[in-house]
Structure 1
Amino acid sequence: MDWLGRIAKLRQWTSGGTRAPHKPLLLLHALGRFQQDADSELRYSAVEKDLQSLLTEYGPPNRTTPAYPFHHLVSDGVWEVRTDHGHGSPGTGVRVLRETGATGRLAPELRTALRGEPELLGRMARLLLDLHFPPSLHSELCEAVGLELEPAETGHLVPARRQRDRRMRELVLTAYEYRCAFCGYDGRIGTVPVGLEAAHVRWWAFDGPDDVDNGLCLCSLHHKLFDKGVLGVDDGHRILVSQHFVGHSPAAREHVVALAGRPLIGPQPGAHPVAADHRAWHTSQVFHGTPRPATAA
């Protein structure tokens, strides 16, 4: 059985690059539980809160429910659901899943394969991460679902139809003159930049190209906040800060809240700025909530 192939082809609703990571998040959670206890089952009423937290933090901005993947993942052949009445999911309704004592777990054949090939779990988890989330979120997502993975290269797990362009980082950092586009940070050790990264505006996992007009040079902090939807970029190439972000310390105010409405730093003349369609994708699929008003100078 080609389990990696099944994971790569999960049926997901999609339209125009819309994110729908419901099934991948449930699978990552289930793999984490399997790693801790191979015989465990996930009772919907017990894990609903945890699954909702994952969807809220790592899913798209629109409201959603964990009942959807709990039911629909069965059709992909990697998941099974039982209730107090027997085998089979009772539907997608939150109430019916609770009232029937619905429990879910990885399909029997998959559990057997994972027991017989221990490295398969890590390969499946890394494939899910590579296909649905940017690298900046992988470590904390594993921590959130209780997965412990050995360090490994993940590029070979991504379907061969696309390969990352290793030149992108240098091209983007050069375009922004090795300065964070949000705060201007430009740290180096000798001649080597440290803490600067090339961020995809439209995520690579969602067909974002490895082009300068889909990139921003960001410091590590602002890259993480950009990928978490705390920060964004508007049509005027000014910084958006989500009203959902809360930080009362002087550091939080200075490094995040005070960015609201500031123009991006760069790119240098002759380099392509972030393309409008990539900005629009990030605003609709990643940025959370309403932007804060621009702060006074």
Structure 2
Amino acid sequence: MDWLERTAQLRQWSRGGARAPHKPLLLLYALGRFQEDGDGELRYSAVEEDLARLLAEYGPPHRTTPAYPFHHLVSDGVWEVRTDRGPGSPGSGVRDLRETGAAGRLAPELRAALRREPSLLARIARVLLDLHFPPSLHGDLCEAVGLELEPAETGRPSDVRRQRSRRMRDLVLTAYEFRCAFCGYDGRIGAVPVGLEAAHVRWWAFDGPDEVDNGLCLCSLHHKLFDKGVLGVGDGHRVLVSQRFVGHSPAARDHVIALAGRPLLGPQPGTRPVAAAHRDWHTSQVFHGAPRPAGTV
């Protein structure tokens, strides 16, 4: 059985490019717990809070319950659920899962495959990370689910992978004249820019093209906050700052909150700005909450 293919083809609700990372997040969490204890079960009532936190931080802006993937992941053949009554999930209702003592873990065949081939765990994790999340979030997400992966461990086979463009970074940084589109940071060591990155507006994992009009040159801090939904790009190509972001230090006020309503810096004349379709996708699928009014510090 090809577990990488099965992982890459998890059945998910999808419409108009909407994000639905519920099953991938649960599977990553289960892999992290398997790495810690290969025989342990995850009782829903004990892990519900952890899973809800993952969905709030790495899921789409609209709220959902972890009961949904806990029940439905069974249909993909990688997960099993038992209750106090015996095998089988009682349904996707929170009360059903709590009251029946529902517990889940990786399917027996998958657990056996992971024991036979320990490197398979990292490869499955990389598939999930590459398919559903931008690279800027991979390290934080692994830490959040307790996964330890070696940097050299690779993802899925090339026939499942859509290749990224190696020219994307150079094209985007050049278009924005090697400065952060949000704050203007333009640090270099000699002639080499440092701390500047090409951010996809519509994530590459969700068919975002490797084109300049889907990119922003951002400093490392603002790239991370952009991918976490703290920052966005609104009408008129002005910076959005989420009202859910809280920071009382001068650094938080100056480097994040004060950006609200500012126009983007760039791109240079003759270069296409961020396309409205990509901005709209990011606002609906990544940006959290309502934006702060301009000038609120």
TM-score bracket for this pair, using the shorter chain length:
over 0.9
1:10 CA drift (Å): 0.2
Q: Report % sequence identity.
A: 82
Counterparts of 1:163 and 1:74, CA distance in 2 = 30
Q: Deviations over 1:92-120 (max 9, x none)?
A: 00001000000000000000000000000
Question: Residues 18-167 of structure 1 correspond to what in structure 2 (within 5 A)?
Answer: 18-152=18-152, 154=154, 157=157, 159-160=159-160, 162-167=162-167
Q: Which amino acid aligns with 1:35?
A: Q
Give the alignment's TM-score, normalised by structure 2.
Answer: 0.98
Q: Deviations over 1:202-239 (max 9, x none)?
A: 00000000000000000000000000000000021000
Counterparts of 2:116 and 2:160, CA distance in 1 = 26
Counterparts of 1:158 and 1:231, CA distance in 2 = 33
1:160 CA drift (Å): 4.1
Aligned length: 297
Runs of 4+ that moved beyond 3 A: 153-161
The answer to whether structure 1 residue 13 and structure 2 residue 42 are counterparts is no
CA RMSD of aligned residues (A): 1.2
Counterparts of 1:213 and 1:111, CA distance in 2 = 43
Counterparts of 1:127 and 1:237, CA distance in 2 = 33
Q: Which amino acid aligns with 1:57?
A: E
SS in 2 for 1:236: helix
SS in 2 for 1:263: coil
The answer to whether structure 1 residue 259 and structure 2 residue 259 are counterparts is yes
SS in 2 for 1:81: strand
Q: Deviations over 1:69-97 (max 9, x none)?
A: 00000000000000000000000000010
Q: Which amino acid aligns with 2:204?
A: W
Q: Which amino acid aligns with 1:288?
A: H
The answer to whether structure 1 residue 233 and structure 2 residue 233 are counterparts is yes
Flag the 1:158–1:12 CA change in 2: closer, same or farther, 3 A.
Answer: farther
Does the Cα contact within 8 Å between 1:127 and 1:157 map onto a contact in 2? no
Does the Cα contact within 8 Å between 1:7 and 1:124 map onto a contact in 2? yes
Flag the 1:16–1:155 CA change in 2: closer, same or farther, 3 A.
Answer: same
Counterparts of 1:252 and 1:204, CA distance in 2 = 28
Q: Which amino acid aligns with 1:97?
A: L
Does the Cα contact within 8 Å between 1:130 and 1:158 map onto a contact in 2? no
SS in 1 for 2:137: helix
Counterparts of 1:122 and 1:160, CA distance in 2 = 16
Counterparts of 1:220 and 1:35, CA distance in 2 = 30
Q: Which amino acid aligns with 1:20?
A: A
SS in 1 for 2:64: coil
Does the Cα contact within 8 Å between 1:78 and 1:110 map onto a contact in 2? yes
Q: Deviations over 1:149-170 (max 9, x none)?
A: 0112646546546211100000
Counterparts of 2:125 and 2:296, CA distance in 1 = 45
Flag the 1:42–1:5 CA change in 2: closer, same or farther, 3 A.
Answer: same
Q: Deviations over 1:127-179 (max 9, x none)?
A: 10000000000001000000000112646546546211100000000000000
Gaps of 5+ in 1: none
Does the Cα contact within 8 Å between 1:18 and 1:285 map onto a contact in 2? yes
Q: Bigger shift: 131-140 or 158-167?
A: 158-167
Does the Cα contact within 8 Å between 1:130 and 1:154 map onto a contact in 2? no
Q: Which residue of 1 aligns with 2:199?
A: 199
Q: Bigger shift: 160-169 or 265-274?
A: 160-169
Q: Which amino acid aligns with 1:264?
A: L
Give the alignment's TM-score, normalised by structure 1.
Answer: 0.98
Q: Which amino acid aligns with 2:215?
A: G
Q: Which residue of 2 aligns with 1:270?
A: 270
Counterparts of 1:215 and 1:129, CA distance in 2 = 20
Q: Which amino acid aligns with 1:87?
A: P
